[in-house]
Structure 1
Amino acid sequence: MQGADKGQAGSLEGEGLAIGIVRARFNDAITEALAQACLKELAALGVHANHITQLSVPGALEVPVALRALADSEDYDALIALGCIIRGETYHFELVANESGAGVTRVSLDYQLPIANAILTVENEAQAWARTEEKGRDAARVAVEMANLLESLP
């Protein structure tokens, strides 16, 4: 391919970006910690607090519906999905993990809008807590980088 490298990373400069966050309340303490880590990183990247919209929904299966509502508004450069699904004794874990993930991806592709998926899928609560801070920060960085990357494309 001639010309600029289309595979280059986007900028981590968040100034001027509008970000929407949808947080599942199920496993509330964990998802609130994810949200706080995400918000702290968004601020560090220069995203202004008044350019961030936060919604909360009951659980991970409801996250894609709220993401779609935000995407419908066309007001956001990127979205972030936050949640925590902990394996239990039944097949329900697989159902929720698979369907919420597929829903997040579907919204992203349908709207050509970057969505950082930080819905944790873990075996136990200890694994969730071990990942909360890092995954919250990662979600913020992914959203900002992908918003800037898509903006830079012709």
Structure 2
Amino acid sequence: MNLIQPNLNGSKLRIGIVQARFTNEIGSKMLEVCCNTLQELGVADEDITVATVPGALEVPLILQNMASSEQYDALIAIGVVIRGETYHFELVSNESGAGVTRVGLDYNIPIANAILTTENDEQAIVRIEEKASDAAKVAVECANLVNRLLEEQFDDEDDE
């Protein structure tokens, strides 16, 4: 059995982050926590690119542009969708989530989805630290895993 161990060394990685500005106070704090965690994991400040967009529905488009540039090892989506009194919550939550997933699969790039979906501001505030920190760790770990799998694939092709 060949078990690949998690690798949280971000020293050679380039990470792109897209932050939705709607509910900016929460999103800005998430961005701060996420960037701090990335730096703790060894990602250099100059290797972190941040783009902001108006809301969660715009996040996938910018992720797609970042992914197509092939300049990043992983991407992170940050934002908050808080339930209101209309169906809009479900629409935004479902479509932004599906868009983020589709970009990752279409471009074979890890994307940590840290777009919170909560009932109220209080729930979002409680989840800021953990969700933002986890997103950074997921991005680094998955970037290293994908990079390793690609290296092994190329090594196998060279052996043939």
TM-score of the aligned structures, taking structure 2 as reference length = 0.92
Task: Give the gaps of 5 or more residues in structure 1.
Answer: none
Larger Rg: 2
Cα separation, 2, equivalents of 1:135 and 1:26: 17
Higher helix share: 2
Identical residues among aligned pairs (%): 59
Displacement after TM superposition at 1:132 (Å)? 0.4
TM-score of the aligned structures, taking structure 1 as reference length = 0.96
Task: Give the gaps of 5 or more residues in structure 2.
Answer: 153-160
Alignment of 1:64-75 (within 5 A): 64-75=60-71
* Cross-structure match for 1:77: 73
Q: 2:146 aligns with which of 143, 147, 150?
A: 150
Corresponding letter in the other structure for 2:15: I
Cα separation, 2, equivalents of 1:131 and 1:20: 21
User: Bigger relative contact order, structure 1 or 2, given CA contacts below 8 A and separation 6+?
Assistant: 1
1:4 aligns with 2:2: yes
Corresponding letter in the other structure for 1:49: D
Q: 1:34 aligns with which of 21, 30, 37?
A: 30
1:90 aligns with 2:79: no
Cα separation, 2, equivalents of 1:9 and 1:78: 18
1:141 aligns with 2:153: no
Cα separation, 2, equivalents of 1:84 and 1:9: 32
* Cross-structure match for 1:107: 103
* Cross-structure match for 2:156: none
* Cross-structure match for 2:115: 119
Cα separation, 2, equivalents of 1:22 and 1:9: 28
Corresponding letter in the other structure for 1:42: L
1:9–1:145 Cα contact (<8 Å) kept: no
Displacement after TM superposition at 1:81 (Å)? 0.1
Q: RMSD value over aligned CA atoms?
A: 0.8
